């Protein structure tokens, strides 16, 4: 009898940990990391120190992983009713909440050790980032456009990157922060198209539900504002012309996405459009670097 009961206890396996932190799919890590790299390049007016690059790249992986654990802990009951999320380890019962908390603690320790390598101002700002990461899963229950909360959480990484580089927060840092919020509004609204019917059925808020048939307009407006804010930030610190050419090319890319979502898209296509934003952010990063080099 005791043996049978013990056999029902989920095992903390590497496979379950990998699934919990979405190890095979790192688009979210890129979307968190890229604004921090934009901020490092802009604040350094060129290539930033390799030490800062490494800290923020590793930190982005740790914090994105921690963020999805927090999300799955908060949503484990709801995830059982959404087709796309039913097989997540907590929703399926393959992992217990206590096991997920152990993983979360380890990730936060790693993140803290990385932050402690930075200056005191950045260390003081870091708890805000953790608070924002914890608030996002709850925002889906009370805020009509929780994608904005996600953008604030992701944008805070750009603020921390700026202070790590410059020791202060300047106007271009806030412009980059605002651009990141707009960018998250664009790509995460596209992402939310996958779950629109499930979210409506179980009572979860999303910008895709809130804007309804005008979702394509909302995505277009957010993308346009993101490009404008980044262009102003770049001009503020004196980036060369090639960066604006890249931003213009990205604008064409955005326009194609917006035109496509004017009509219904399949969940698979919505996810593919979302994943393209990792390449969009990388193109912007390359444009900023080249703007300082040439």
The per-residue pLDDT for range 165-176, each reduced to its tens digit, is 999 999 999 999
Domains identified in the chain, total number: 1
- Render pLDDT for 137-185 as a digit per residue (tens, 0 to 9): 888 889 999 999 999 999 999 999 999 999 999 999 999 999 999 999 9
Q: How confident is the model at residue 7 (pLDDT cuts 50, 70, 90)?
A: low
CATH number of the domain within which 74 lies: 1.10.357.140
Q: What is the mean pLDDT of the chain?
A: 93
Please report whether residue 207 resides in a domain: yes
Binning pLDDT at 50, 70 and 90, where does residue 203 land?
A: confident
DSSP string for residues in the chain: -HHHHHHTSPP--HHHHHHHTTTT--HHHHHHHHHHHHHHHHHHTSSPPHHHHHHHHHHHHHHHHHHHHHHHHHHHHHHTTSGGGTTSHHHHTSS-HHHHHHHHHHHHHHHHHHHTTS-HHHHHHHHHHHHHHHHHHHHHHH-S-HHHHHHHHHHHHHHHHHHHHHSS--HHHHHHHHHHHHHHHHHHHHHHGGGHHHHHHHT---HHHHHGGGHHHHHHHHHHHHHHHHHHHHHHHT--HHHHHHHHHHHHHHHHHHHHTTS---HHHHHHHHHHHHHHHHHHHHHHHHHHH-
- 63 belongs to a structural domain: yes
Which range (43-52, 76-85, 188-197, 276-285) has the least confidence? 76-85
For residue 73, give its domain range: 10-293
Over residues 251-256, mean pLDDT: 98
pLDDT of residue 118: 97
Tell whether 3 is covered by a domain. Answer: no
Residue 1 domain flag: no
> What pLDDT shows up at residue 224?
98
50-99: per-residue pLDDT in tens? 999 999 999 999 999 999 999 999 888 888 888 888 889 999 889 999 99
The stretch 108-125 carries a mean pLDDT of 97
Residue 2 falls inside a structural domain: no
Q: What is the pLDDT of residue 6?
A: 44
Give the per-residue pLDDT at 1. Answer: 38
pLDDT surpasses 50 at 4: no
The residue-averaged pLDDT of 17-39 equals 96
Banded pLDDT at 3 (limits 50, 70, 90): very low
Q: pLDDT band for position 217 (50/70/90)?
A: very high
- Tell whether 270 is covered by a domain: yes
- Average of per-residue pLDDT across 196-201: 86
Q: In this structure, is residue 224 part of a structural domain?
A: yes
Q: What is the pLDDT of residue 252?
A: 98
Q: Span 102-131, mean pLDDT? A: 97
Q: Does residue 4 sit within a domain? A: no
Q: pLDDT value at position 274?
A: 98
User: What percentage of residues in the chain have a pLDDT greater than 90?
Assistant: 83
pLDDT at 9 over 80: no
pLDDT at 2: 41
């Amino acid at each position: 009898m005791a043996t049978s009961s013990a056999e029902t206890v989920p095992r903390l396996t590497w496979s379950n940990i990998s699934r919990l932190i979405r190890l095979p799919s790192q688009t979210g890590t890129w979307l968190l990391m890229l604004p921090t790299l934009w901020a490092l390049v802009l604040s350094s007016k060129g290539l930033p120190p390799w030490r800062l690059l490494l800290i923020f790249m590793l930190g982005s992986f740790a914090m994105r992983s921690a963020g999805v654990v927090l999300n799955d802990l908060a949503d484990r009951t709801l995830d059982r009713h959404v087709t796309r999320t039913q097989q997540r380890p907590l929703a399926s019962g393959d992992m217990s909440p206590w096991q997920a908390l152990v993983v979360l603690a380890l990730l936060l320790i790693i993140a803290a050790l990385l932050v402690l390598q930075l200056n005191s101002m950045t260390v003081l700002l870091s708890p805000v980032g953790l608070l924002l990461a914890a608030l996002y899963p709850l925002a889906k229950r009370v805020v009509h456009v929780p994608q904005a909360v996600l953008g604030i959480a992701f944008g805070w990484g750009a603020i921390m990157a700026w202070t790590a580089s410059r020791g202060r927060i300047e106007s271009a840092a806030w412009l980059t922060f605002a651009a990141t919020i707009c960018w998250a509004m664009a790509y995460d609204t596209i992402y939310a198209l996958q779950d629109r019917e499930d979210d409506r059925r179980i009572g979860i808020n999303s910008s895709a539900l809130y804007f309804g048939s005008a979702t394509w307009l909302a995505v277009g407006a957010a993308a346009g504002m993101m490009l404008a804010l980044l262009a102003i930030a770049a001009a503020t610190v004196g980036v060369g012309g090639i960066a604006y050419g890249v931003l213009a090319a990205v604008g064409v890319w955005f326009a194609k996405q917006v035109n496509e979502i004017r009509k219904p898209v399949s969940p698979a296509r919505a996810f593919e459009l979302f994943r393209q934003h990792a390449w969009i952010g990388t193109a912007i990063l390359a444009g900023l670097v080249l703007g300082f080099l040439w």
